[in-house]
Structure 1
Amino acid sequence: MGTRLKEARIAKGFSLEDLQDLTKIQKRYLSGIENGKFDMMPGPFYVRAFIKQYAEAVDLNPDEMLELYKKEVPETELDPVQPVSSAPLRSRTIASSRNRFAEVLPKIIVALFIIVAIVAAWTFWQHRAAGPDVNDEPESDVTSIQQNNDVKPPSEGGEPGEDNETDTPPPEEEPAEPEQTQEVAFVSTNGQTSTYTLTGTEEFKLKITATGESWIIVTDQDGRELENKGMIAGETLDYDFTDQSSVRVRIGSTPNASLTINDQPLEYAVSPNEPGGVTQNIVIQFTKPQ
């Protein structure tokens, strides 16, 4: 198997450094695959993932290479079971904060209700204490006020008592600003890389969910690698990239991984079932509203 992969690499004109840049697999692991030194790998799962990416990069059938690998390595070393990693610390922290908030919320509601009741009672009492007593006013003053209200002031150029109507246009209502709506739009595909834009929202929260075995590499806008790990079915990764302008996610097995942006599922522009759609790079460019 290693010989066939190496011959295909040389036929493509790739050096180990070129293949390292293309697959993001360290050169020493690529050399180990070519020379059959699988004991230097992190584990059997990673060996299969590396072989699959290597084969796709040099246009060989990944399944055929994996079958050759199984024939070359004893079954005792082919352990497909991977330990389930603990949930990310970020998810546990959020869950703990929500639980504490749920415990405190009823107390906050009761306290607000008491404060509103006290303010309403105080306002009502102030209004009663400051209001004048109509019965204490002299009767003559009440009569005079009523007579004055019956007499209309003279209008300019008219007789006393005539209505002075003025045509005052009603104030114009300002048009309401349209509500912003989140939009995830596909831009283009270049090789294994598909680019999308995220607009119409103030936040950028990304969730990666594995439905089977896959390999995930997450890189931020500055090119820093935030995640490089294998995932198994049921495992999730949560990130808050609100302060980032772009994010890159490399998926080793796209059919076994799904992406969600602010609870909106991302639809792959290149179908995972198409040739070349198994391993994809997803680039998301985020632009906040002005």
Structure 2
Amino acid sequence: MDEELPQTDIPTVGERLRAAREEKGLTLEDIAAQTRIPRRHLESLETSEWDKLPAPTYSTGFAKSYASAVGLDRTEIGEQLRAEMGGQRAAVTNTEIFEPADPARTMPKWLVLGAIAAVIVIVLLMSYLNERSLDSGNEPSAAEVTKQEPPAPQPAQQPQQAQPAATAQGPVVLTATGPAWIQVTDQGKTLFSGELAPGQSFTVPATATAPLLKAGKPEALRINVGTAVAPPVGPPGKVASKVSLLPADLMRGPGAPAQAGPATGAPPATGNTAG
């Protein structure tokens, strides 16, 4: 008589999964929501209906995710399932094992959105600080002193004939063609005192009644009266002082006779002098 083989009472993977689920009071719908595995595949795992499951590699992944959801050892469940499926295992191929994402290891949606928002805030803050840095670097160093582009070199030409004083109109602008120290006063009040860098300019206020100029290097200054260029205010290499910055006096040039004063008996305007 053939000897009977001993019966083993080891529960199958499906029985272990079902028992653990029922012990936790969970339904198949609960497990499907947690693991994102279709309910029909979960049922097939519990009933060991391998023909209703996809390839063994996918089935093993399903079983591992199910095990994590009910508190069983993933590795142990996976190994037991492969042993139970036995000859139904597919031939070894390079197919990647698909395992559904474990909800416990998935990054929460709020954390992803928070990280994106933080990056956007940092980019906006860096842009704001960069613009403020550029703005602060462009502040003028002295009142009414504006930096202009250095004048383009012009070919040598005959000295421009000064326009008649009667036609001189517009603001008086002093522009440095090289480093030039100047001082502008009006009836004892200093309007500007300092060095102009090449390309910088100073506009005499229209409210000045008797502005006077003192220039360390007259040859480093170009003086405009409106669109007209005034003659030099002094010889090169000598300090020019007490130079009248009234349009009419500038256009007459140094040494030109001053115009007669008003009919009210006021003294004539002071001419430009170099000292």
**What TM-score range do you get, normalising by the shorter chain?**
0.3 to 0.5
> Relative contact order (alpha carbons < 8 A, sep ≥ 6): 1 or 2 greater?
1
Structure number with bigger Rg:
2
TM-score by length of 1: 0.31
TM-score by length of 2: 0.33
**Normalized per residue, which structure has more strand?**
1
